[in-house]
Each structure stands twice: as C-alpha cells, then as structure tokens.
Amino acid sequence: MQKVYKKLTKDQKERGVIFSSCLSKSITEIPSDTIHEVMKGDPNKDKVIQRLNDDRFFRDGPWKYNIIRS
C-alpha cells in the first residue's frame, strides 16, 4: 500500500479537522471511500493519528492507497 500525502481541504480546516486518512483504490478520494477524520479537540488525537498512519493491517485488502491529509 502506498501512502499519498496531501493538504487538508478548505472544508476540513473550517470544521477543525487536523488529520484525515482514506483507504482507496484510486490515488484520489472517491465518493464511495470512507474518510476517517481527527478533530482538533479529540482527547485521543495522537493515538488515533498513529493508528490511522499504520496501514499494515490493510495491506491484503483491495486498497492500493492510504490518502493522508494533514
């Protein structure tokens, strides 16, 4: 699985998102993908970000990319 790093979208910044991760078959997010977001006030944000960065568990899945925005 390849990690793709991008900047947060304007909408995400406005909503207080500090990190997002999306497992995708495409190099960009598509509407059917699930995006996991970490908010500024999340008390466990460091642990959640660490888990979302670790995509080893999903390597045998159908996804080719882990799209990370921060």
What pLDDT score was predicted for residue 6? 97
Q: pLDDT of 30-63, one tens digit each?
A: 999 999 999 999 999 999 999 999 988 888 889 9
Distances (CA, A) of 54 to 15, 16, 22, 36, 57: 24, 23, 12, 13, 8
Task: Tell me what the mean pLDDT of segment 16-32 comes to.
Answer: 94
pTM (two decimals): 0.88
Summary mean pLDDT of the chain = 94
